[in-house]
Structure 1
Amino acid sequence: MLRHAGLRLGCVAALCGIAVVGAHATTPPDAATIERQWVAANRPYDGARKAILAQTQKIAWQGPMDPDWQSLTGYRTPEWYRDAKFGIFIHWGVYSVPAYKGEWYPRHMYERTGENSDRYQHQIATYGPMPKVGYKDLIPLFKAEHFDPNAWATLFREAGARYVVPVAEHHDGFAMYDSKLSDWTAVKMGPHRDVIGELAKAIRAQGMKLGLSSHRAEHDWFYEYGRTFDSDVNDPRYAALYGPAHPSESAKGEDGQDVDWTFVSDAYLDDWLARSSEIVQDYHPDLMYFDWWVGQPRFRGALAEFAAFYYNQAAARGQSPVLYYKFNNMRPGTGTLNIERGQAPDIRAQPWQTETSVSPDSWGYAEGDTYKSPDELVQLLADVVSKNGNLLLNIGPKADGTIPPEAQHILLAIGQWLGANGEAIYGTRPWQRFGEGPTQVVAGTMQDTKTKPYTAEDFRFTTKDGRLYAIEMEWPATHRALIHSVAPTMKVKAVTLLATGKPVTFKQQPDGLHLDLPTQPPGVHAYAYRIEFEKPIASSTKEDAAPTS
């Protein structure tokens, strides 16, 4: 099948020739032993997996798309998504129990030395020694006793979100949905609830679109540190939870780029594709999100097959879906680009998204965490939308199912701003330029805390219905604003301050559009002006250009 294209022969040096001692390994077992244990642990699900894969392959070849990258360039980001602009991401799972430095705790709690060894020390001190106690023993503590999906959905709607993307499964391998391919799920353990099913119903009842994310690709190596000593990761009884836990390796290719040499078996690719397809078959998400590791060469065939399946099944139901990708994980034009904790330097020809969290440090809930201000997040939203993008903002609920008050405050503040200024955001398109002013963002992945503070000279522009919207990032101390990009030849008919709905006195001069503003700022965060012209303006011609990388 396509997903087996590019099979790498042999094994990674670190995986070969290492012996297993007793029930637990003091050094990593060899690749063959790891695979045997993992395959055996998943044997009870063989029938269900085969059925799902058969249906996936059938649908992947029946519809507008075929499972090859050239055919998949027929994808277009749907208009509803381009209009939505703002969504909520949710990282919630067993890792919320320790609430210690984020959602990668289950990996680093097995890291005995190095910069992350504090997680190991915390685990031992709080929950007990290994191998007796491990990540599996945190699952009963994940009770979600105060989880109220309707309250969550109401909050997200009040925040102004138009779509919501809960994590269906993170790298830890614990499914937050009802799966036929695993017993390690929130339905069968922990909360004993179909978290994703309940959220799906509540989110859609509020008129928002449902997205789901799967981070299972990274599960192939996520628990690798547990292989290096006597831990429960090496106990075959728990192989279905801990996964292969292959040691990860990388090297430099001929072009100088990082090449990942971590072992990925055919069995794992089949399992990844089946689990991804099961989520789609059972919950019909409008958006689907994968993390970065699906870009590895061994995943390319499986990813193309999934994309064709996802697009074709959505088309059969009349859905217009969104499939995210990061970096160059998919061929340009076959999905919607997602930049993690980063921004674009200019208007992108195709719609895109930035994802970031209310915390500068973590995605999952962490005690004592720090939070970003509503000011910087509203400014981020304005910048991203001006460049043809959407913002997906993450929160991390507590293990009991409550959303931290700091996160609630941020969401409600953004919602209040959108309630007054949303006309400049929802349904807009880029103008001929994204903005003006001295402050430039630091573009690229993982750069979200490096941009300098905005000034009153910084504006971001959007358009809709022949109007221009200028969003001023700070309130000017002089109570006067100057927009250089509105030239005298652009005959302005009226200017309105959206937050008050009142007209703004203006003058057009050779250096631009001058505004006389109220002495007190109307609200907080950023300030949007509707500018109407005698002759309606057009949006950027870039937005309909051919797909680019």
Structure 2
Amino acid sequence: MSLISFLLCTQVDTNAQQNVHPQSTAYEWPKDVDVKKKLDQWQDQKFGMIIHWGLYAVPGMIESWALCSEDWIDRDSTISYDEFKKWYWGLKKDFNPVNFNPDQWAKVGKAAGMRYLVFTTKHHDGFNMFDTKQTDFKISDGPFKNNPKADVAKYVFDAFRKEGFMIGAYYSKPDWHSEYYWWPKYATADRNNNYDIRKYPWRWNQYKQFTYNQIGELMNNYGAIDILWLDGGWVRPRETVNDEVLSWGARIPEWSQDIDIPRIATMARKAQPGLLIVDRTVHGPYENYQTPEQRIPEKKLDHPWESCMTLANNWGYVPNDQFKTPAKVIQSLIEVVAKGGSLLLGVGPKPDGTLPEEAVQRLEVIGKWMDKNGAAIYNTRTTDNYKDGNTYFTASKSGGVRYALVCLKENQALPQVVEWSGNVPQKGSKMTLLQTGESVKWKQENGKVTVSIPSKLLQEKNTYPAWAFSFKAAE
């Protein structure tokens, strides 16, 4: 099968997969004091980076999903499924990221204004980006094994930790390479395990122990971890399947794919006190914050959540991908934060271990805006009146300062005045334009606030995705 023909097939598939996790509504607040403290700390960060990097970077295709036989997956019909699986898993011998430089990744992320990391230690294909002892299907057992940084996750975590990031480990609960999940005795029809767990409990218990052991390695051997981000929400107790899961359109087996998250959580939090566990879409005590994918909820939510969205069209590296503009990302971040969430932005490194230049350039522009306006984003919480037209509002964590973030259309000529209703400043108080740090004139009539933009700013040729204003709000 030619690489070009396969890429043409999988480009469409990525878009089909982007909305697999619509927003949840059920939420259970944690009771553990350390977890509550960590959750509050995480809610201060607001902007994070998720990195998908694995075998799929080598041909530059959709991450893992081409291995899965479901209706939305399309593969070259001239090659058998077994041959395709052999080809895909054989990419292990070609994955040699000789230019891997996690320090550069971390510096780019910090310069962009990001403050927490989620790194894919293993995606659904089962290829491990850490030096697990449970399998040889890992980056440290291929052509990269003699590199000083062969234990990739360790060096990624170290680099981002050094830049002050909170550290998250993404881990896929399903593992399509494990014979305890996809048993070679049977065909691999879809994303689920391919044998009846009720008939073969020993095999599933082996898989549960395999998962426990791998997460134990991550929790005990890789320094301080703040977040365990568990993907693959179909691997769950069957009684927890809800309308959200059913909306994915995937088959629901008659048996329960329960891997005993309570046991895993107890072990993980013994090693990492206060660890946030994000068992995506499995509502309850181990979904410490929720993760709508590739979308922003329609309204403000009062429990912790993040929108995980891609900087380009794909989670991993795909050649000639289409990247979002910095303005689009900044305005999405503003909307997310005003609605009570955080933005986790996806970036996929190239197979040689470097970040795509298009990603670096866009993150640099985002960072310049964040340098000036970050006070309206970080350490903020929601307001009752969080939006008026194209203006969003946030409040400092202490509640003493209010922020108005006015989103502008791309390449829009700078208006002489901006207006909003609600969130009125205290009478006679000072209002500051964060972009320049200078005071601006404002007036209030009948509940509408009108702000005059400084003339020297209007004379600039720069365009701005948003203006942020700080003030003390009238109660």
TM-score range, shorter chain: 0.7 to 0.9
Amino acid across the alignment from 1:295: R
Corresponding residue for residue 308 of structure 1: 266
Corresponding residue for residue 268 of structure 1: 207
Pick aligned residue for 1:461 from 348, 370, 394: 394
Task: Summarize the Cα distance change of 1:119–1:339 in structure 2 as closer, same or farther, 3 Å threshold.
Answer: farther
Pick aligned residue for 1:433 from 345, 362, 385: 385
- The CA deviation at 1:72 is 5.9
Corresponding residue for residue 436 of structure 2: 500
Q: Does 1:199 align with 2:166?
A: no
Amino acid across the alignment from 1:485: G
Q: Check whether the contact 2:174–2:181 (CA below 8 A) recurs between aligned residues.
A: no
CA separation in 1, counterparts of 2:53 and 2:419? Answer: 45
Q: Check whether the contact 2:168–2:225 (CA below 8 A) recurs between aligned residues.
A: yes
Helix, strand or coil at the partner of 2:234 = helix
Alignment of 1:95-494 (within 5 A): 95-100=56-61, 102-104=62-64, 106-107=66-67, 116-118=73-75, 130=83, 134-192=87-145, 193-215=150-172, 217-219=173-175, 222=176, 239=179, 247-248=188-189, 263-264=196-197, 265-283=204-222, 284-291=224-231, 292-297=233-238, 298-300=256-258, 302-315=260-273, 320-327=274-281, 329-331=282-284, 335-360=288-313, 362-437=314-389, 457-465=390-398, 466-474=400-408, 478-487=415-424, 490-491=426-427, 493-494=429-430
Per-residue CA deviations over 1:290-326 (Å, capped at 9, x if unaligned) read 11234342355611222232233322xxxx4222233
CA separation in 2, counterparts of 1:241 and 1:190? Answer: 27
Gaps of 5+ in 2: 1-26, 198-203, 239-255
CA separation in 1, counterparts of 2:419 and 2:463? Answer: 20
Task: Summarize the Cα distance change of 1:303–1:239 in structure 2 as closer, same or farther, 3 Å threshold.
Answer: closer
Aligned residues: 408
Q: Check whether the contact 1:72–1:308 (CA below 8 A) recurs between aligned residues.
A: no
Per-residue CA deviations over 1:124-157 (Å, capped at 9, x if unaligned) read 9xxx993795223211211101111111111111
Helix, strand or coil at the partner of 2:432 = strand
Amino acid across the alignment from 1:461: T
Structure number with larger C-alpha Rg: 1
Helix, strand or coil at the partner of 1:339 = coil
Fraction of identical pairs, as percent: 26
Helix, strand or coil at the partner of 2:381 = coil
Task: Summarize the Cα distance change of 1:132–1:366 in structure 2 as closer, same or farther, 3 Å threshold.
Answer: closer
Helix, strand or coil at the partner of 2:298 = coil
CA separation in 2, counterparts of 1:267 and 1:132? Answer: 23
Gaps of 5+ in 1: 1-68, 224-237, 251-258, 438-456, 538-549
Q: Check whether the contact 1:365–1:397 (CA below 8 A) recurs between aligned residues.
A: yes
CA separation in 1, counterparts of 2:442 and 2:262? Answer: 54
CA separation in 1, counterparts of 2:131 and 2:102? Answer: 16
Per-residue CA deviations over 1:312-364 (Å, capped at 9, x if unaligned) read 3322xxxx42222332x03168511121222223332222111111123x211
TM-score for both structures, normalised by structure 1: 0.68
Q: Check whether the contact 2:373–2:434 (CA below 8 A) recurs between aligned residues.
A: yes
TM-score for both structures, normalised by structure 2: 0.77
CA separation in 1, counterparts of 2:189 and 2:86? Answer: 24
Pick aligned residue for 1:90 from 51, 63, 74: 51
Helix, strand or coil at the partner of 1:81 = helix
Amino acid across the alignment from 1:268: Y
Q: RMSD of the TM alignment (CA)?
A: 3.2
- The CA deviation at 1:212 is 0.8
